Structures are given as structure tokens and as C-alpha cells.
Amino acid sequence: ELTDEIRVTISAQACLLLLGLPHDYYRNVESIIVYPSTVFPPQRKPGFFENTTAPVEIQHPIIGQAFRQGPVIIIWDAALRGGRLPESGHNVIYHEFAHKLDMLDGAADGTPPLRDRDEYRDWVQTCSREYLRLKHDTEKGKKSFLSAYGATNEAEFFAVATEQFFDQPRLMIEHAPDLYRVLEEYYRQDPFERVARNTCVGEKYNQD
């Protein structure tokens, strides 16, 4: 049963992504489906014209999912855990709603609608470099400040980077200041500054 706690927790965190953006309140989000805990999506059946000699892809458990022309799925216990433990760097609400921002231009490709050609150029150059670095580190078994799930593809990289940007901005600045900068320019927010109000974290781009 949906409660006010569930509604407010999900909507408030989703709307945090929009604070600096001109928007019309997630025009591509028509519904949000909330499950109490991790679920397995239904097994996809092969299409009539598909080659059924190949094995059907096995469905994996999910804690969230976003569809380009469909709902956002949120797993409540994961959402609550992410909201209470920002130091973990994992937030399913930020992740899935970042996908919906990415999809506003019709494609989930890791590049949301930007303001001009210069911003696109800077975004592609910076995010491509950091995505390939994460992918290389993941393949080599090297731990990164970003979740290895971000190496899946460019869309997942943007969603994972968004989680990190809002939850652990100092860590991103330390390891990938250019990535922080392009996300700061896109979201028009500075999470580091919010954190710095209440903690002694040193200078933004010059930390020990």
C-alpha cells in the first residue's frame, strides 16, 4: 500500500534533479510503479518471427527500471536505503529518473538534451573519456570511484554518474573534476557546495 512516506521520498528525490533545470515536471513520466522489494521481471517470450534456436535472455532481479515509453519502476526498500545512506553513492531514484531525463530527446544514449553545440561538444568529449576509463578499469578488475555498472553502456554511465554527483560530489571532484563540471553545468547545481555548508571539506578543486 502506498503511503505518504513513499510518495514524498520518491517525488522529493526525483525533483532534486530538476531544481536548476527549466522543466515541465517530467513530461515523459506518466506513472511510477512501486514494489516493496526486489522483483524478477516476467520472462520475455520470443516474437513470432524470432529465431527460437537461440536461448531467450534470462531476466535478472531489478531494484529499478525506466522505460522510454512507459513507467518508472522503483523498489521501495532500495529507495529508502539510498535516501538514508547517501555515502554509499547508490540511489535508485536518482538513477532511474536520470534515465528519464536522458530519454527526453527520444533515445537512451547517455546524452540528455543540452543547451547548445558547445555544451554537446564538451559533454561528449568528457563523458566519452570517463566512460572508456571506467570500462577499461572494469575489464581489468580495477576498482573505480564509480560503480562498475556504469560500464554497461553510455546510458548507464550517465545514470551512475548522476548518483555519484548528487551523493558523493567530493569523491567525483577528486577523481574526475571534468565530469563533475559538465554535470554541474547540465544540472545547474553544485552538490559539493551544499555538502560544504555543514562539513569542513576544504577547497572545491584543491583538496588534500
Alpha carbon distance 29, 103 (integer Å): 10
Query: What pLDDT score does 48 carry?
Result: 59
Residue 187 pLDDT exceeds 50: yes
Q: How far is CA 24 from CA 29, 48, 74, 204, in A?
A: 11, 39, 21, 32
| Residue pLDDT, tens place only, 38-82 | 777 666 666 656 565 555 555 677 788 999 888 999 999 999 999
pLDDT band for position 208 (50/70/90)? very low
Give φ, ψ of 33 to 5 degrees.
-105, 125
Q: Please give the model's pTM, rounded to 2 decimal places.
A: 0.85
CA atoms within 13 A on the CB side of 143: 1
pLDDT (tens digit per residue) in 133-155: 999 999 999 999 999 999 999 99
